[in-house]
Amino acid sequence: MFTTSSIIDNLNQSEGLEYKKLCRSLKITKKSDKDKLDIALTALEKLEIINKNEENEYTCINVSDHIVAKIRCSSKGYCFAVREKNKEDIYIKENLLNYAWNGDKVLVRIIKEGYRRRSPEGIVDCILERSNQILLSKVEIIEDDIYAVPIDDRILSKIKLPKEDKKYTYNPENKNIVKVEIDRFPIGQDEGLGHVIQELPLSNNEELDTDFVLSKSNLFNLGNQNLIESKKIEKRERIDLSNKNSYLFKSWAAENSPMLPMIQIEKEKNKSTKLWLHTNNIAERIELNSKKSLEMFFNGLESLPFLNNWQDYLSEAIRNDSEFKLGKKNEAISLCLHLNSENEITEWSFHLTLVKCSLIVGSDHTDALLSRKSKTRITSRLLKPIKEYIDDLDKILEISSLFRQRHLLEGKFEIPSLLNKIESLNEFYIHNPAENSKGYFEPLNKEDCQTYLSPIIHEANLIWFKHSNQFGLKSAGYIIKGLDDINANEIIKYSEFIDSDIQLNEDGNLPFNQVIKLCSEDNKRRILYKLIINELKENEISLISKVSNNDEPEKLFISPWTIPCYDFINLINQYCIFNMIINGKKSKKNNINEIDIAESKSLEFVNWDIFNSSISKNIDTLFNKFVIDKINEYKYKVKQYKSNMISIKKVRKAEELLGNTYSGFILSVQSYGFFVEISELNVEGLVHVSTLNNDWYEYRSRQNLLIGRKSKKSYKIGDKIEVKIIKVDILKYQIDLELN
């Protein structure tokens, strides 16, 4: 089904489209769909968003008063249109939303400019794309009619249901939430219409948690719908490295977790080393050169952890063909790093290879390797069977550690992963080496071997940006801004966390690493880590074109490609590397001397377009704003899903312990109460200010504390207190506490 957004996107990608061509682009054949398209085109013309020229071709109007934005609503009813590129949000009054819901992509017109500290105000003129096609709701009877009332209080409309859906009327004891499919969104004076497609009785029914959280995050369980075919690989010249030892580091327990790359070591003269990174050859097996093949991915652009397994965004056939299995030869796309005696990267090159997995390295191996007192004696029962590989593994761990040390010296910092005490969530907490959106690293951990994969992968991803940027190729990745300093004013709020020996730099700032070192207690340090994470904004995927050496030097550009079975960004970057190797021009026209453009040594000599117009067109199908926006939208949903999945399991755990008393630390203070972490359970809950009935408590934002008017009793971040679990809400993922 087409959306307003897809109409505009198709018109933006052409100089003009006739009606029939537009129908073909949108895959519209039915008369009923053409009637809807006619209505949409007429409305867009009247809003002066599109235009029909003398040749009866539709085009987008470049100069327009409308702004593309996303609606973000709060539970208190405040709504804003959030713009791109850190521009100021636009306040939208409820009566000017025109039935836009939280998460919808819209066109907004500013009707009142902002001034002083007030945001500009606007009106929603057009809903480009609906975020919710399925609505989680309670079924209620209102004046003899049946309605679906969204459990998300940021959605301000109810949906009318048919009479037969009365049987799903909400029962608080069963918590029987329903999934409602929208048949018609509310418009003008007409109510929205829908019907129940599934009932989810959540009370004492943890098996439905995954389905519930997926639906709440607007994600689909792909099930058997993933029918992306695996192409047969053409016979090409490849470097045969299958007689060399290659190592697969893997901590994830689920068999269908994302496939990880292998590492190979070749020691050379003068203590120099070749470090090979072999990646699963996905790009060579998938058809990616058409809009049709691209659209197949839009329902799933990233692999998701479930409780006991993963949802792979690629098909089982692709996995079976490309997975590195012990002792089995397989094709790979590889990066060779040349390291000097100081383990510094001096050169690199990309290759098509044939490889074989010699050993799957688990966290028990890295723990045994890094815990042994002497490298000369092998006494561990875990290490004896792999004695022949130990020298290679020691070298890999050494290189990984040195890479990370250099990253930290460059101003990056580490924050440990949060503790997990719920076994079913293990896959969520194991380090993900494909995660690049955070502004920090997780520390190397001998009990999680995947942490040692990350520094090597990070270098490989940096290298692809450097390589592609030098050739003027588009790449997709993250622009990571430097976040080395926190303003001293922010530290004042957390002054109880750190020792008094503070030395600010000349700008009045305090480096992150210094803040953490000054925090002496483990519990307070852990809380400080959480507070810092909340302050950091996750980086979005960007389309990166040619960047000069002097352009925005404070930013770090990284183009992930090493784990293409994890998400679509890795896949399209790997696809570009694959095309560079097999289709890239090796020289100028009429130039006899060819250059190996896959080598770093070629970068200073290449001054021509390495792709012809046909390949460039295929690449542009993947590397454009429309695709990048889709990926960012999906990643936002995945982030919500992961957070909510962890939250619902913590609430389930707290539900079993109602009435119990525990020690905890105050995590944050608000005007309505304070949040407490129960360290023993690793769960957080709210002590509402209304339960503090021994005094009237006043919130002081500057000191970030609550203080009693009479008793002068205060509650601030870091305070240790005793609390009782009094109530849980599965639907809102909330735990209510009271002081003991």
What SS3 class is residue 644?
Answer: helix
Verify that 314 and 360 share a domain, yes or no: yes
Domain for residue 426, yes or no? no
Residues 303 and 359 grouped into a single domain: yes
Do 268 and 386 belong to one domain? yes
For 582-620, write each residue's pLDDT tens digit: 999 988 776 667 889 999 999 888 888 999 999 998 898
For 548-573, what is the mean pLDDT?
Answer: 81
Q: Give the mean model confidence (pLDDT) for residues 490-506.
A: 59
Domain assignment present for residue 366? The answer is yes
Please check whether residues 264 and 344 belong to one and the same domain: yes
pLDDT at 488: 47
Q: Which of 637, 669, 686 is the last residue of a domain?
A: 637
- Are both 93 and 146 inside the same structural domain? no
Whether the pLDDT of residue 28 is over 70: the answer is yes
Residue 551 in this model has a pLDDT that exceeds 70: no
Q: Tell me the CB-side half-sphere exposure of residue 307, using CA atoms within 13 A.
A: 16
pLDDT given at position 557: 86
Residue 502 domain-assigned? yes
The span from the CA of 444 to the CA of 427, in Å, is 18
Judgement on whether residues 95 and 24 belong to the same structural domain of the protein: no
319 and 381 fall within a common domain: yes
pLDDT (average), residues 3-20: 81
Higher pLDDT: 455 or 554? It is 455
What pTM was estimated for this model as a whole? 0.89
Distances (CA, A) of 575 to 134, 285, 578: 34, 10, 5
Least confident piece of the model among 363-367, 510-514, 687-691: 510-514
User: Judging by DSSP bridges, how do beta strands 79-82 and 57-60 pair with one another?
Assistant: unpaired
Query: Which pLDDT band, with edges at 50, 70 and 90, does 550 fall under?
Result: very low
| Poorest-pLDDT segment among 166-170, 226-230, 679-683 | 226-230
Q: Do 521 and 388 have their domain in common? A: no
Report the number of distinct structural domains present in the chain.
Answer: 6
Residue 548 domain-assigned? Answer: no
- What would the pLDDT profile of 174-229 be if each residue is shown by its tens digit? 999 999 999 999 988 889 999 999 999 999 899 999 999 999 998 988 765 666 78
683-688/734-739 β-pairing: parallel
3-class DSSP state of 647: helix
Whether residues 275 and 366 fall in one domain: yes
Question: Do residues 283 and 398 share a domain?
Answer: yes
pLDDT > 90: percent of the chain: 53
Q: Cα separation of 706 and 610, whole Å? A: 63
| 250 and 379 belong to one structural domain | yes
Average pLDDT, the chain: 87
Q: Report, as an integer, the average pLDDT of 274-302.
A: 89
Q: What is the DSSP letter of 733?
A: T
> What CATH number did the domain enclosing 176 receive?
2.40.50.700
pLDDT at 19 over 60: yes
Q: What CATH number has the domain bearing residue 15? A: 1.10.10
Rounded mean pLDDT of 431-446?
A: 91
Write down the pLDDT at residue 631.
Answer: 93
Q: Which residue has the higher pLDDT, 680 or 365?
A: 365
> Is position 433 within any domain?
no
User: Which of 13, 39, 60 marks a domain boundary?
Assistant: 60
> Considering 129, 150, 173, which residue would you say is the last residue of a domain?
129
pLDDT for 512? 62
Residue 245 domain flag:
yes
Residue 472 lies in a domain: no
Question: What is the C-alpha radius of gyration for the chain, rounded to an integer number of angstroms?
Answer: 28
**For residue 467, is it within any domain?**
no
For residue 731, give the CATH number of its domain. Answer: 2.40.50.140
Q: Identify the residue whose tokens are 């000054």.
A: 518
The Cα 646–Cα 654 span in angstroms is 13
Q: What pLDDT band is residue 506 in, cutting at 50, 70 and 90?
A: low
Q: What range defines the domain where residue 149 resides?
A: 134-203
Q: Distance of CA 415 to CAs 160, 386, 428, Å?
A: 48, 32, 16
Look at 64-78, 518-532, 677-691 and tell me which has the smallest mean pLDDT: 518-532
Check whether residue 55 and residue 76 sit in a common domain.
Answer: no
91 has pLDDT over 90:
yes
Give 178's strand partners: 137, 199
Phi and psi for 700 in degrees, rounded to 5? -115, 105
Query: Torsion angle, CA of 642/647/649/650, rounded to 10 degrees?
Result: 140
- Amino acid, res. 648: I
Residue 667: pLDDT band (50, 70, 90) is confident
Q: Residue 266 has what pLDDT?
A: 94
